[in-house]
Amino acid sequence: MKQLCILIFLFANVLTNSVLAQTGMVKGTVKGANNRPLAGVSIKLENPKRDLGKTGDDGRFVISMPTNGVMVFSYQGYGTVKQPVTAGKTEYNILMESKEQELEETVVVGYQQRKRETLTGSVVTISGKEIQDIPSGNFVDLLQGKVAGMNIQNNTGSPGMRGTIAVRGISNFNVSGSGDNTFLTPTSPLFVIDGVPIDDNSGYEYGFETAGPGVSPISMIPPEDIEDITVLKDAQATALYGSRGAYGVILVRTKRGNSKIPLVQYQGQFFMSAVPQLRKVIGGRDERMVRVEQILMNDTTLAAAIRRINDSPMLADSLNPYYNNSTDWQSYFYRNTYNQTHNVNISGGERVFNYKVNMNYYDENGIIANTGFKRYTVQSNMQYEPNDRFRMMANVNANLAQNQMGSGNAAMQTGVGKSVNTTSLYPAPSLFSGSMGALSALNVDDQNKTGNYVAQVELQYEPIIGLRATSTFNYNYTTSTKDRYTPELLLGNSSEIYGYYDNKSKVYNRNLLSWVKAIKEKHVINLYGFTEMEISQSSSTLNKIRGTANDQFQAGISYNTRQTLGGLLNNLTNYRSIAYAGNASYNYDSKYIVDLTYRVDGTSVTGGASPWTSNPSVGFRWNFKKEKFMERFSWWDTGFFRGSVGRTIQPTGTLSDLYGWYKVDAGRYNNRPTTSLDLKNAPNTELVPQTTTQWSLGMELGFFNSALYLTYETYYKQSDKILRSKAIANHNAFENVLTNEAAMVNMGHEVSINFRPRLRNGDWDLSGTATFALNRDYTTALPDGVRQLIQPDNTSGYNLPQFFRLGRNPLTFVLYDYKGVYKTDDEVPVNPLTGQRYRAGGEFSAGKFFRAGDPIFTDINGDYILDENDLVFVGNSQPAMTGGLSVFTRYKNWSLRTQFSYTLDRDILNTALTDRFRNYDTPTGVIEGKPDYVPGAYVPLDAYNVWRQLGDNADYPNVSDFTRLTLYNPYRYNSTMFLEDGSYVKINSATLGYNFDRKWIQRYGLTSARINFTANNIYTFSRYAGPDPELVTSVGRDGSNGYPSKRTYSLGVSVQF
């Protein structure tokens, strides 16, 4: 009986289905504002919910559907249109009304899809289309100026590497390294790629820190595959990302399949990277004469001068072919390159099942010889959603990157920087002339490979209506190798094999349960909670083998075992974290919205009694435009206030900071190596994560049907418990201890204006975004409760310490105050006590007394001696104002997209210019006792108002007085002489595109085709005297060894089959 019942039931089912399935062909056109056909409008059947298809590029559609169904047309930025199909009518012309675009969109925040209208946090979304026409090794660079409050400085031109990012100011003021190689601790935001967090701060940032290739997994995401990028700025938005969300979050969504007919899209770009303007140098005979004249004019006596000239083979032996040259060193390293990138995207499917496979090849040769970046990636995803209650999504990505860094590292090209700064009198690089630095930059065989493999599965199930369970599992594995072979000729007759290997792996799991309940239509309650777990580890090994038998043996065996090293590097990590988070959201009629979030984070690098930190946050939103009293303003579409306060954490430090290290000693006991505690850092088991507490308020206003949309935000962000090392008294066994005593605050304002005027002529289209952000950083706490701290820099030769003082920006320069040049000897102040002139400090010497032509440095403490007591604290290397403007215009099939960005009110120390002046200190090109000394290039001084003779009113002091230069050091790195305004306005890019006429290309079997011409990094307007105000380190120093930014011109083709 039971079986029979089932049978009947099934039969009845089939019958009803077959009744429903009476289908017919329906066609028509969908048009939007200005009667323009809309392409890609999704058409769905209302009941049962089912995808029917999409409109074509001309807005036309042909679908088959039940003859009594209702078609639902939806398109981003337009109101949904429902059109019942009436029997007999097969052609429908649909007109869609455009809607307030910003609000209708949904966005995934805190792993939950939400309507923009109900967000309480600060969220900005950028479409992938905006960046896809510019070839780039790293898409982050292309976001410059697009988001108010996200400060991106593209300060390295190294292919595949990215510049620095800071969302709402820097969150950590610790610097590592010294001198020219000083770097700010990176505080890049957390990247969440298709729902999986990737921390981009550790290891990848600067190649020299880890000895590896330095390629970040972020560089492996092809811009062509990006659907959109969402930037979360405030505490409420980032709250659920908890641990590591403290520096802001960037969500990246890759493309999905969404077409019944499979689409094959090819995008290719050919681009030329052009060398920016290089510096002028004096060459050949001119250089020799400048050097000779310098000696004759400035030496103590004529006899000494002549002896000095005759003792310098470079000057005296001018007919010797070794010295009789005019070598243009820059021409050996800098070059224009031709590059290409290809991308194929295959996607298809509809809601029930869709898929995407994206293949990308990117090949860029750096503008510095022997550098480059290649990327081979496959990104794929598929989604299966048989009904509303179950969904499965899987991603598999395999990426491989290959880069060459010559003799440099990811950030710096020190070898090239040094070699370019070589006297033109020396012969061009060749094996016989001995310029080994240059040769190694050009000839070292440096191969780096980075592989990144990602697998991810997400399952979603809705057992009861309103209650939804989601589980995400992700495995991410990155491995990189570096193989460098230096031939024996370049390294003192002993070749070197440098082999580096590292691997990082991460297992990530998130289980989420959410519940939505609408009561009487007006009250919507959304509750959800999840657990999040992460296990990650990394380790790296390094082998350095010196002295292979000959240059043909580039692996394995060496005779010089004494200098051969190898082993595990001490940067290995093993990290666990687990978190429980919950969110409760209440929404009254989309008018009043309150969000409460609570997250408990436990990490393995949290010391103290408990590994847990709790991070609450609260957000509210008042859509006042929805109030009755605002209804009268028909031209005003949107208006709301929102605000939030919350706390997030960022685990800093490592296990070894908590528990200490054992190291292998240099000494032995019983002829065995011993181990002992590493006494550098005292273990501190009380270490806790850095916490960020952020208050923010925002207001958004939309007018004239979204033609003008204005966002204003303001924030106060406090980063507490910043990990910082402090020296401890020397009667302790340990040198330093790490503590969480430092803190800083960022505060600022952000404005962004979107405009999209409705143009009467439908052939024209104009839209754009202008962003503006003002940010100030303040130091608010220092270790041991002191008000001021100077972190000295005694070893680098630059003498540029870091200075911190409560209430002041944390990246101030510590410099001597430069006030011009002494015109005559009488202008030098005299110490009334001793009758002696003002002099440079240090050991007394007659040459240190200042005289005409010497720089005037202010004697702050009035003791007539220039020393470290006369330093002043000036400037700020962090920009106060950043922003940009992007404009998109379209006329018929032509489109033009331009991007501008600006950085204002920042100070830069032009150490590169200092270096140029300093090259004048050894005109003979010979330093006694330093046989390896390579004389530097002479730059023409015509461009600078340099003191030359008595009475000159000069801007720069005498460069030529070489017998005294080292005594009083006029061109010291740490003087305000070289502190310049680093503000700039930059034309980032311009893309001219043309869409081919659809009818015409259909003849060739294409559905769409587009070509574009793009110029990137076009021009920078600046008062800065150096080559590029952007090309400075994160602490604002323009060194000589940076990798210059290229200008690219590209021709792109995009076709879709």
User: In angstroms, what is the C-alpha Rg of the chain?
Assistant: 33
- Bridge-based pairing of strands 23-31 and 91-95 is parallel
Residue nearer to other proteins on the CB measure, 643 or 855: 643
**Burial 788-824, CB ≥16 within 10 A → b, else e:** ebebebeeeebbbbbbbbbebbbbbbbbbbbebbbbe
The reply on whether position 869 binds other proteins by CB under 8 A is yes
- The greatest distance separating any two alpha carbons of the chain, rounded to the nearest whole angstrom, comes to 125
Secondary structure percentages of the chain, helix, strand, coil, to 5: 15, 45, 35
Give 781's Cβ-side CA count (13 Å radius): 15
Candidates 427-435, 442-450, 629-637, 764-772; binding stretch for other proteins (CB under 8 A): 629-637
Residue nearer to other proteins on the CB measure, 531 or 796: 796
The reply on whether position 589 binds other proteins by CB under 8 A is no
> How far is it, in rounded angstroms, from Cα 154 to Cα 411?
11
Distances (CA, A) of 456 to 33, 244, 382, 472, 569: 40, 20, 11, 7, 30
Q: Which one of residues 246, 871, 908, 954 is an interface residue with other proteins (CB under 8 A)?
A: 871
Q: 211: Cβ–Cβ under 8 A, 6 or more apart, which residues?
A: 482, 500, 540, 542, 569
The reply on whether position 627 binds other proteins by CB under 8 A is yes
User: Shortest Cβ distance from residue 614 to other proteins (Å)?
Assistant: 22
The reply on whether position 790 binds other proteins by CB under 8 A is yes
The reply on whether position 624 binds other proteins by CB under 8 A is yes
x/- site string to other proteins, residues 27 to 46, per CB under 8 A?
--------------------
Tokens of 555: 């692996």
User: Shortest Cβ distance from residue 784 to other proteins (Å)?
Assistant: 8
Q: Which one of residues 780, 889, 963, 1002 is an interface residue with other proteins (CB under 8 A)?
A: 780
> How far is it, in rounded angstroms, from Cα 815 to Cα 855?
14
Residue nearer to other proteins on the CB measure, 41 or 119: 119
x/- site string to other proteins, residues 797 to 836, per CB under 8 A?
--------xxxx----------------xx-x-xxxxxxx
Indicate the DSSP class of residue 993. Answer: E
Q: Which of 262, 229, 222, 78 is nearest to 150 (CA)?
A: 229
Tokens of 729: 């008294």
> How far is it, in rounded angstroms, from Cα 704 to Cα 627?
18
User: Shortest Cβ distance from residue 889 to other proteins (Å)?
Assistant: 33
Residue nearer to other proteins on the CB measure, 279 or 776: 776
Q: Which of 396, 391, 393, 392 is nearest to 380 (CA)?
A: 396
Residue nearer to other proteins on the CB measure, 639 or 923: 639
Residue nearer to other proteins on the CB measure, 733 or 833: 833
Tokens of 369: 């010889």
Q: Which one of residues 162, 837, 964, 1037 is an interface residue with other proteins (CB under 8 A)?
A: 837
User: Shortest Cβ distance from residue 624 to other proteins (Å)?
Assistant: 5
End-to-end Cα separation, the chain, in angstroms: 55
Count of C-beta atoms within a 10 Å radius of residue 1047: 19
Candidates 133-141, 370-378, 856-864, 1038-1046; binding stretch for other proteins (CB under 8 A): 856-864
The reply on whether position 885 binds other proteins by CB under 8 A is no
> How far is it, in rounded angstroms, from Cα 1057 to Cα 1054?
10
The reply on whether position 592 binds other proteins by CB under 8 A is no
The reply on whether position 865 binds other proteins by CB under 8 A is yes
For 934, the 3-state DSSP assignment is coil
User: Shortest Cβ distance from residue 872 to other proteins (Å)?
Assistant: 9
User: Shortest Cβ distance from residue 789 to other proteins (Å)?
Assistant: 6
Q: 981: Cβ–Cβ under 8 A, 6 or more apart, which residues?
A: 906, 907, 908, 1023, 1024
Instruction: Tell which positions 747-766 bind other proteins, by CB under 8 A.
Output: 747, 749
The reply on whether position 786 binds other proteins by CB under 8 A is yes
User: Shortest Cβ distance from residue 642 to other proteins (Å)?
Assistant: 10
Amino acid at 39: A
User: Shortest Cβ distance from residue 837 to other proteins (Å)?
Assistant: 5
User: Shortest Cβ distance from residue 813 to other proteins (Å)?
Assistant: 15
Q: Which one of residues 368, 436, 542, 745 is an interface residue with other proteins (CB under 8 A)?
A: 745
Residues 918, 929 contacting (CB under 8 angstroms): no
Residue nearer to other proteins on the CB measure, 453 or 873: 873
For 836, the 3-state DSSP assignment is strand
Count of C-beta atoms within a 10 Å radius of residue 130: 21
User: Shortest Cβ distance from residue 584 to other proteins (Å)?
Assistant: 25
Query: Residue 898 forms beta bridges with which residues?
Result: 887, 990
Residue nearer to other proteins on the CB measure, 483 or 905: 905
The reply on whether position 963 binds other proteins by CB under 8 A is no
User: How many residues line the site for other proteins (CB under 8 A)?
Assistant: 53
Q: Which one of residues 715, 956, 962, 1024 is an interface residue with other proteins (CB under 8 A)?
A: 715
> How far is it, in rounded angstroms, from Cα 720 to Cα 602?
18
User: Shortest Cβ distance from residue 823 to other proteins (Å)?
Assistant: 16
The reply on whether position 4 binds other proteins by CB under 8 A is no
Residue nearer to other proteins on the CB measure, 19 or 846: 846
Dihedral, CA atoms, 965, 967, 968, 972, nearest 10 degrees? 70
Q: Which one of residues 89, 129, 280, 787 is an interface residue with other proteins (CB under 8 A)?
A: 787
Q: Which one of residues 525, 699, 896, 934 is an interface residue with other proteins (CB under 8 A)?
A: 699
> How far is it, in rounded angstroms, from Cα 769 to Cα 753?
6
Q: Which one of residues 437, 643, 683, 1052 is an interface residue with other proteins (CB under 8 A)?
A: 643
Q: Which of 380, 347, 344, 349 is nearest to 362 (CA)?
A: 344
Site residues (CB under 8 A) for other proteins?
A: 624, 627-630, 632, 639, 641, 643, 695, 697, 699, 714-716, 745, 747, 749, 778, 780, 786-792, 805-808, 825-826, 828, 830-837, 844, 846, 860-863, 865, 869-871, 873
